[in-house]
A and B are shown apart, each in its own frame.
Chain A
Amino acid sequence: MIGHDIFLPTPLLVISSGIMIMLAAMVWRRSVGRSFAYGLVTLLLSLAVVGHHPGRMSGNGDSLFIQDRWTTYTAILIIFSTMCILFMSWRDVAHDGTTLVDEYPLLFMLGTLGALAMVFSANYMPFFLGLEILGISIMGLVTFRHRPVMLGYEAAMKYLVLSGASSAILLFGIGLAYGVTGSLRFMPPIATGEVPAALPVAATVMVLVGMFFKLSAVPFHMWLLDVMEGAPIPVAAFLAIVSKIAIFSSLVRYFGTGAQPPFLNDILSVVIILTIMVGNLLALRQASLTRLLACSSIAHVGYLLIAFLCPGHLQSGAITVYLAAYTASTLGVFATMTAFVVPDGPDGTVIAQWRGLFFRRPFLATAMSLMLFSLAGIPPGIGFFAKFEVAATGVEHQRDILLCVLVIGSIIGLYYYLNIIRVMMAAPSSPSSTLNRHARPELTALVIVLTIIVVIGGLFPARAIHPLLPAATVPPETRDGIRH
């Protein structure tokens, strides 16, 4: 590879240098607050340069990275989510202050770096490296839960083992693909010459399985519930949002947005049906809010995959809006959870603790309800329009079974989301006078910002589609460009 072929998106550069500066600063003097500040500044900087890159992409598709509207969009989502998650973690620094160390923000930054590397990758190498960086930093982050100590360690071990297994499968698939095509280009292998036809199919399926593992689509979903429950709330948000956006973005990049080959179509349909049904049914019986959110995120991946499976001119809008809606609403729920926590009070991970919140903290309860409505796909939240768009793509392709599953899943989903609101509306069980309110301006501000995003996005979704429309039309172009 020659010098002018090296094409490196600026956000990666900025975040890598930011991490190095953080490391250097930690050697100089350890200070958690300062590390958070470095992290936020770095993220802001990378957000500012997200669309820029030095040099130009090589036309023949040999470069390691790629940059187009889709990468820009998902990168913005990832960076924005990480910023919100850093804000959420701030409370631990300010109030608990027990075991938090500098490594906490550092690991978040590393995880973001991994996620961005996956988003920008046009080659198996950076994709796999990014995946591993993300996975390993998540493992470190999960152990930061310090209330019931063993829970965090157990979750981390679970994650380590299962993520290792899935990486191995993924790597095997990549190896097979390399064997078939002799190239590490990030796209499904195409059988050429004397290679048996089963080989590229096997390679594709193995890569797909690896991705499904990280995406926690249904036969491979078991780990997510336990890991999210064991992790601190911000880390659970990171798992549910950043890591999923990154892997979904790579999925779209890898398979493109055109019609999928028939075998893939069948596999995906089955996985979608299982994902939506199992995700929603599992959520019904959860008493823990984090576990419930894990189930709901499984179900939402299923809805998102419907849009992925239905190419057409509605698809790009559906995927972009759905990603934005899922990100904003889920972030909102997690932000409300962190704002809910008061020192020496309940930590908000059990649904029963939310009882009577409408009477104690009406603002928080209203924000939470709006977020849950949005997740359930009810106006005025942006989730309403997102679900509408996904249904539109399904109707366009007459995927009747998938649509039925979508409807049934949504109705089940409605039940468990509404159930939380119902609990919040129930009369408080104990006199709440003992609970002193701790004003946390940064969390309140975060919740307000996310609420505004969700509501405005729901009322004026046109602005949300408009700049993002080219997102899905670009990948086919670049794919064509690669073939030339």
Chain B
Amino acid sequence: MNPLPALVLLPVVGGGLAWLAEHIQPHTTTPARDASWWVVLGILTVETLLLVMVTFHHPAHAGPWLGHFSVPWIPAMGIAIRLDMDGLSLSLIWLSLILCFLCVFLATRQVTVNAGAFHFLFLATLTGIIGTFLATDLFLFFFFWELMLVPMFVLIAAWGHEDRQRAAMKFFMFTQGSGLLMLLSILGLVIAHYQESGELTFDYFTLAHTPLSPAVSMLLMLGFFIAFAVKLPVVPVHVWLPDAHTQAPTAASVLLAGILLKTGGYGMIRFNVMLFPDAASHFAPIAMGLGVAGILYGAWLSCAQDDVKRLIAYSSISHMGFVLLGIFTGSRMGMQGAIIQMLAHGLSTAALFLIAGAIQDRLHTRDMYRIGGLWTAMPRLSTAGLFFAVASLGMPGLGNFAGEFLVLLATWHVSPTTATLTTAGLVLSAIYALRMVNRIFLAASRPDQHPIQDFPVRQMAVFACIMVFLVVLGLYPQPFMMFSAPSPLSVTAVTSREGATP
């Protein structure tokens, strides 16, 4: 049996089960809520087992692609359900699962209203994300790309904080609107291929070999780029992000910052750079400029925030600038740096959002001035917060540093000026991270402080796992760099054909 479709479908089916589980005993509230939570936990465990199987099961044909699945979907249009997995998608799916476990352990149990529906939407988002990472049919990719927005929109709009609905609308309009441009690009590529060869297909590998004039290629690449740039986000189109991240419920913030942003980076690697290498290299100076702008602008604004979640959100913009920069340096090292940065940022920012969410649950405020010093009241939470804040500023020895360093090195080879500017962003990131640490954890405790509950040991154990991941990623990134490299297209086309024929 092929595990790939199961990987995609399991979360949404399981989400449905979780929803049903809540309705089995509608009168006893607490056990029912736990029922859906337990179902979600079970589903995620099964999903992890499947993923372990995929990771360690070596396919019969030797090649970088770990799995392939294909059935026709809409034959009249040449659309099929094609799923392929390489190291890049596998590592990002691992990241998604780890973050989902984090959310389930630390955040989703606090949801009291309609917990079943919440869990369903949560897992439905996961399905969309995993589908996006696996799809190699452009229509299917677009389908998942749009599909993951819907549950996320509902999560923000229904369970978010005070200004949730405006934030949700903004999020949806930006991502969906830019998605339409990508749709036009996809169609343009498909039609160009059709006029060239007479074959109507949405297959990624076939389309990769479409001969295109430079102008057309640039135009199509830009369509993709804008969609991914909104998701990543790149600076002029980032305005949805601070609101959405701030207003979303904790679990949704984690998903948004941890994984949803990575779909943008993934798309840039898989589609911009690999489908249109020439156009991408022509476009690289502008993209790198935007990346630097994002790094500096995000970090600068982050320094000026009082709202914790907003601060973390702006720091995400800054960190994602590194990803953009790394992808468009055009070198292998830059790409690896970008991928490491994505993984490390996913882990550290998700943890920061969880901590911010925990603080908000306890103190009912996100204003750093009103939170005051927590070190004495909540030593465990503060330790975790300190660790991840330091990770986020790029302390050597942790994953973020490895990613940023590789990106900087690759950038230096291309343009020393850019690299110099980028380091200014690192200074700024030290400022905002330390400012946050000072205000929240190290400041003198407020006199009117109520006794508050610290993290229990169980939750600290979960955080400890993430810390270990980050340290491993920082000290020994080599295996991850080799493992998570995207498979080159020339190899893919052949092996996937071989995989398809038997």
Contacts and interface: CB of A to CB of B under 8 A. Distances in A.
A425 B73 contact: no
Contact of A415 (B153, B173, B187, B190): B173
Interface in A370-402: 373, 378-380, 384, 388-389, 391-392, 395-396
A426 interface: yes
B401 interface: no
B181 A407 contact: yes
Nearest to B154: A425
Interface in A399-458: 403, 406-407, 410-411, 414-415, 418-419, 421-422, 425-426
B75 A396 contact: no
Q: Which 8 A-B pairs have the closest CB atoms?
A: A395-B187, A462-B74, A411-B177, A407-B180, A379-B147, A422-B165, A465-B76, A396-B191
A384 B184 contact: no
Given A411-B176, A418-B169, A461 B150 contact: no
Contacts of B158: 358, 425
B: interface residue count bin? 20 to 34
B197 to A, nearest CB: 15
A389 B191 CA distance: 12
Contacts of A410: 177, 180
Interface of A: 314, 317, 358, 362, 373, 378-380, 384, 388-389, 391-392, 395-396, 403, 406-407, 410-411, 414-415, 418-419, 421-422, 425-426, 460-462, 465-466, 469
Nearest to B159: A425
Contacts of A414: 172-173, 176-177
A461 B463 CA distance: 45
Contacts of B183: 388, 391
A481 to B, nearest CB: 25
B6 to A, nearest CB: 17
A418 B75 CA distance: 32
Contacts of A314: 77
A462 B76 contact: yes
**Which applies to chain B's interface (DSSP): helix, strand, loop or mixed?**
helix
B298 to A, nearest CB: 25
B307 interface: no
Contacts of A407: 177, 180-181, 184
A358 B158 CA distance: 9
Given A407-B180, A422-B168, A395 B188 contact: yes
A396 B150 CA distance: 29
A415 B150 contact: no
A379 B76 contact: no
Contacts of A426: 165
Contacts of B75: 462
B286 to A, nearest CB: 22
> B143, B169, B183: which has the most chain A beta carbons within 10 Å?
B183
6 contacts: A380-B147, A391-B180, A395-B188, A410-B177, A415-B169, A425-B154
A373 B151 CA distance: 12
B86 to A, nearest CB: 25
Contacts of B173: 411, 414-415, 418
B172 A373 contact: no
B150 A373 contact: yes
